[in-house]
Chains A and B, each alone.
Chain A
Amino acid sequence: DARVTQTPRHKVTEMGQEVTMRCQPILGHNTVFWYRQTMMQGLELLAYFRNRAPLDDSGMPKDRFSAEMPDATLATLKIQPSEPRDSAVYFCASGEGAGRYGYTFGSGTRLTVV
């Protein structure tokens, strides 16, 4: 089964440190999404890319978050500096074309900022 691979699965870091989360989308999927899941806010879209170009990152705090796709096989989400309120599970998902007919989610990165 094709799958979206996210690393690391778990990350504990101290406040103020830089955090980088990585995602390998399914081969051939040209649309990539970053979602954040918390108990309070549920699933929030942070950013998404099509053909490696950012289409929408309005859900992302620009002062500390950045998302990139250096190539078609890698998407990254960076937080610098990290804060305790960033503690959440971060999901990457990918889809074909406009991605409207179903995304495949990775298993997520559980981030804890202490």
Chain B
Amino acid sequence: QQQVKQSPQSLIVQKGGISIINCAYENTAFDYFPWYQQFPGKGPALLIAIRPDVSEKKEGRFTISFNKSAKQFSLHIMDSQPGDSATYFCAASMGGTSGSRLTFGEGTQLTVNP
């Protein structure tokens, strides 16, 4: 059962533009929402993460916006650069005995054109 839905599947942005990737979740027990970045031939790497007690978290050009009531969260990449071209995955996990289990979205392939 897919519990985290991600869109769009692919995204093309011009250099300097804003990239926006959206995710929606179903399980209200989720309490940790990371984003991972994956380059070809590499494993996913943690980019930024948020907990539901805040509505926004910013690290450099990357910002997560979180809407708990709508059960949605999004990644914004400001001033997008060609080096940001990669596949981005949102994910979610919950506490308790399954606290380690990350459920991933389907992924978004981002291409930033020079």
Contact = CB atoms under 8 A, between A and B. Distances in A.
Interface residues of A, number: 24
Contact of A100 (B99, B103, B107): B99
B66 interface: no
A93 interface: yes
A103 B104 CA distance: 13
A55 B100 CA distance: 10
Interface size class, chain B: 20 to 34
A33 B36 CA distance: 16
B43 A55 contact: no
A56 B46 contact: no
B89 A43 contact: yes
Contact of B41 (A4, A31, A105, A107): A107
A95 B100 contact: yes
A114 interface: no
Interface of A: 4, 31, 33, 42-43, 45, 48, 50, 55-56, 91, 93, 95, 98-108
A33 B42 contact: no
A102 B107 contact: no
A85 to B, nearest CB: 19
A56 B106 CA distance: 22
Contacts of A42: 89, 104-107
A43 B106 CA distance: 8
Interface string B88-102: 010001010111111
